Amino acid sequence: MQLDAWPDIDIESSENHNSYLEEVALFGRKFILSPKRWRDFDSLEYELIWKSIRFIKSDIATLPDMPGIYCFSISIRSRGIPVSNYIMYIGKTEKQTLNDRVSQYTLKSTLRRRVEIQHLVKYYHPYITINYCECDPELIDINKLEDELINCIIPPFNNRDFCGTLNQARSAF
């Protein structure tokens, strides 16, 4: 799979019931939007400075050689549709740099091991934005920050990264 060549999926060509079921099966995601969790996250003891790039090789190459937190977001910017962003996945780099870690998502070998991320990259590539925040591991516990962000935002592609209680609740519906 090359980063510049993505399959076009013609989901509008068939109007039968099965094509809609296939579309929902392929693109359907659960979103849990919890204002209480967002408010709880507001109590961070430090300020996070977020930056954004497009998910293309030339932009990825500009990522800093620092550890940090990153998010894959779907950014809808189609004419006639209000600009919308959906955080789909949150990850961290603790021993790697942001540049090294995010670059791995352009490799077939990485995507084969991460089926959910492979799906995200394959179908949403033109719409992916990488939001990132550099973190000094001497000042910020990156593992704790990632856990807090994941449990606050509850991204649909972070399947196994939630606290135990939240995992149970998510699987109930």
Q: Which domains does the chain have, with CATH numbers?
A: 47-172 (3.40.1440)
The rounded distance, in Å, linking the Cα atoms of 173 and 171 is 5
- Count the neighbouring beta carbons within 10 Å of the beta carbon of residue 55: 22
pLDDT in tens, 27-40: 888 888 888 888 88
- Lateral strand order in the sheet of 84-93: 51-54, 128-134, 68-76, 84-93
pLDDT in tens, 101-118: 999 888 887 778 888 888
pLDDT exceeds 90 at position 155: yes
pLDDT of residue 166: 59
Tell me which long-range contacts 120-123 makes (C-beta under 8 A, separation of at least 24). Answer: 120/72, 120/88, 120/89, 120/157, 121/1, 121/55, 122/1, 122/6, 122/7, 123/6, 123/9, 123/26, 123/27
pLDDT of residue 9: 47
pLDDT in tens, 70-104: 999 999 888 888 988 999 999 999 889 999 999 98
Rounded to two decimals, the pTM is 0.80
pLDDT exceeds 70 at position 151: yes
pLDDT of residue 25: 84
Residue found by looking up tokens 């109590």 in the block: 43
